[in-house]
Every structure is written in C-alpha cells, then in structure tokens.
C-alpha cells in the first residue's frame, strides 16, 4: 500500500471517528436524551414527548406535549429543519436529533411535563404568525431572547447593535441563513452556552430587535462583537474593528 492510499484511509478514519465521537457525546451527555430510533409521524412514546418538549422550548411547537407524533409535531419538525439548514423531510433521524439536542442542552423533562392543577377560567392568546421582512414571529422572539441574554444592561444602541449583528450574519455567506441558525450555531453566543438565552426578554430588547429589522445598524456592518474585558480568544482580536458601543467592540 503506497503512502498516498494510506493517507486517504487515515483521513477517512479520522472523519468517521469525529462523527462517532459527536454522536456518542450526544447519547452519553444526559439521562434525558433521545433514543436511536428514527421518529416518524404516527409514533408515540417518550422519545416523541422529548421531541415535542425540545421543539416547544425553541418555539417551533405550540401544541400539547403528549407524546403523540401528529400533524402539528410533523410541521414543527419540518420548520425546525428548515430554520437549521437540515434536509426538510419531517423525519427525526440522527442529524435532526443532534442539532435539536445541541440547541436545547438546557431542556429537562420538567420544563414541559404537564402539571396537575385545578382548572380555572383563563384568558387565551393566539400565537402570532406576524412576520417582518421575511422573518417569522419565532425568529423575532429568538432574536429578542438573544439580545436580552447577551446585552441587557448595555445602552439601548448597544442592544440594537447585537440584533444587527445577528441580521448581518444571516445575510453573510459564512453563516446560517436564519436567525435561529445563527443564534444556535455552536460557540456563537455566550447566552446560549450559559442558558441565559431562555430568560424572558423585556420590552427594550424587543424594541431593539424591531429597530434592527427596520434597518438601523449602529455597527456599520459588523458580523462579530466581543467584550474586551472578558474575551479569551486571540482570534477575535485579529478581526478588523469598526467601533466600540458600550462594553462591546464590533468587528468585521
């Protein structure tokens, strides 16, 4: 066997090992993780319950978490696949499971478990399907979560700037082409890593997102930002800096 063939075989082995490690990490990471069965419409059980719970946490699923893979769950899966750049087939196989798990590492069964409480009259609110500039209501909500998790306490212009960076990444060929894909890209946002992405955003964060969607970009086209007091990556300092807003430096 010549050296070239040996090198090719070694490269293939390393690639397959990387896939296995990532896949194995997923199953060993938590007690609450999917089984290995591909989930399809019509199935029932605990894995479907978990699927619905994780999709509900992200805002893709709005129905009851009942462990029944019906039409609403199917549609939620397809929407998730679309937002995260996966094959849109409604089947929950290894790639969809892994992507969903990475986006909802802080999910636990109690987040969506049905609670037994006394029934009382309640006001219901329809889930908005309003979209602005081609973005869904879920996109806008997740952006507000990200702005609040990343930049609350920053001046208002700094919060708009964070929203603008998300939108600039959506438009950039090097990043996912949806807000959810950008926000949940591994390692992209501290708020996702530490769970603050799930804090309820205030009105200021929501307004900042609306202003960014309406075209206000205080960053001048930035696709990165960082806090110079806490940044540990040497690479981020190599990016061309545009300006500093509040505690964040914005860069290309």
* pLDDT value for 179: 92
CA neighbor of 96 nearest in space, from 44, 129, 58: 58
For residue 82, count CB atoms less than 10 angstroms from its CB and return exposed for 0-12, middle for 13-18, buried for 19 or more.
middle
* CB-CB contact of 182 with 224 (8 Å): no
Calpha distance 89→226 (Å, rounded):
37
With beta carbons less than 8 A apart as the criterion, state whether 208 and 229 touch: no
* Edge-to-edge strand ranges of the sheet holding 224-226: 224-226, 248-251, 241-245
So what's the pLDDT on residue 131? 44
When pLDDT is cut at 50, 70 and 90, the band that residue 82 belongs to is confident
CA pair distance 49, 64, nearest whole angstrom: 10
Smallest CA-to-CA distance from 213 within 142, 163, 152, 162 is with 163
Q: Of the segments 50-54, 106-110, 201-205, which one has the largest average pLDDT value?
A: 201-205
What pLDDT does 7 receive?
56
pLDDT band at 184 (very low <50, low <70, confident <90, very high): confident
Q: Which pLDDT band holds residue 28 (cuts at 50, 70, 90)?
A: very low
Give the per-residue pLDDT at 13.
55
Is residue 252 very low, low, confident or very high in pLDDT (cuts 50, 70, 90)? very high
Residue 45: φ, ψ to 5°: 130, -175
Angle at CA of residue 106, ends 104 and 110, nearest 5°: 105
In sequence order, the 6+-apart residues with CB closer than 8 A to the CB of 14 are none
Give the model's pLDDT for residue 136.
Answer: 84
Contact 96, 81 (CB under 8 A): yes
Cα gap 227→154, rounded to integer Å: 11
Domain covering 30-112: architecture: Orthogonal Bundle (1.10)
CB 222 within 8 A of CB 168: yes
* 41 has a pLDDT exceeding 90: yes
Distance CA 53, CA 113 (A): 8
Q: Is the pLDDT of residue 69 over 50?
A: yes
The top-level CATH class assigned to 137-251 is mainly alpha
> Which 3 state secondary structure label does DSSP give 244?
strand
Instruction: Indicate the domain borders of the chain.
Output: 30-112, 137-251
């Amino acid at each position: 066997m010549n050296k070239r063939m040996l090198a090719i075989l070694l490269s293939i082995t390393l690639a397959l090992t990387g896939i296995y490690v990532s896949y194995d990490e997923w199953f060993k990471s938590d007690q609450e993780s999917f089984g290995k069965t591909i989930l399809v419409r019509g199935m029932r059980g605990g894995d479907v319950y978990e699927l619905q719970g994780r999709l509900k946490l992200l805002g893709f699923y709005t129905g009851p978490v009942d462990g029944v893979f019906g039409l609403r769950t199917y549609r939620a899966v397809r929407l998730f696949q679309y937002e995260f750049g996966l094959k849109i087939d409604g089947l929950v196989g290894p790639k969809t499971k892994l992507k969903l798990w990475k986006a909802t590492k802080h999910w636990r069964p109690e987040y969506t478990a049905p609670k037994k409480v006394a029934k009382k009259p309640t006001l219901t609110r329809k889930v908005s399907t309003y979209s602005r500039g081609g973005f869904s209501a879920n996109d806008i909500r997740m952006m507000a979560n990200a702005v609040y998790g990343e930049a609350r306490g920053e001046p208002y212009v700094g919060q708009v700037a964070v929203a603008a960076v998300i939108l600039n990444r959506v438009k950039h060929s090097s990043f996912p082409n949806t807000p959810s894909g950008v926000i949940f890209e591994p390692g992209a946002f501290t708020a996702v890593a530490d769970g603050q992405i799930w804090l309820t955003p205030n009105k200021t964060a929501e307004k900042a997102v609306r202003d960014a969607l309406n075209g206000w970009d205080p960053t001048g086209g930035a696709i990165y930002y960082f806090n110079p007091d806490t940044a540990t990556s040497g690479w981020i300092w190599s990016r061309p800096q545009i300006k500093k807003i509040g505690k964040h430096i914005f860069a290309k």
